[in-house]
Amino acid sequence: MPGRKTRAQGQLESEIVGVLHRSAEPLGAAEIQEALPGKKPAYTTVLTSLERLVAKGRVRRIALSPRRVKFAAVRSEAEDASDSMLSALATVEDRRAALVKFVGNLDDVDSALLRAALAYDRTMTP
């Protein structure tokens, strides 16, 4: 059925950025299309999403020639995740409650990683 969505809003862009994060080198639109999970979107849909990601500053366009273009993520996966968490915190009134809820949902491994990261940050402060 034409016009029927197979992904949630923003999901395709997230999947495209994920493909770019997992790649050691820039990729062309066809390579990205092939690497996407599930039902493959149209090539033009991938191109449109890539151009939107370029406009948002999340993806970099690399012109190898007038007709050959590759794409790369601007930031690392860790930087994107950090920005997402900070953006979520910026939308709530009670940051303390949000942080307590977040930490309460962490498993033991993630809790240990967070404690180590906090200790590391304190030792790096001049």
The per-residue pLDDT for range 49-69, each reduced to its tens digit, is: 999 999 999 999 999 888 899
Long-range contacts formed by 51-59: CB under 8 A, 24+ apart: 52/13, 53/13, 53/16, 53/17, 58/13, 58/17, 59/16, 59/17, 59/20
At residue 125, does pLDDT exceed 60? no
Q: Which CATH class is domain 11-73?
A: mainly alpha
- pTM of the predicted model over 0.85: no
Considering the chain, what is the average pLDDT of its residues? 90
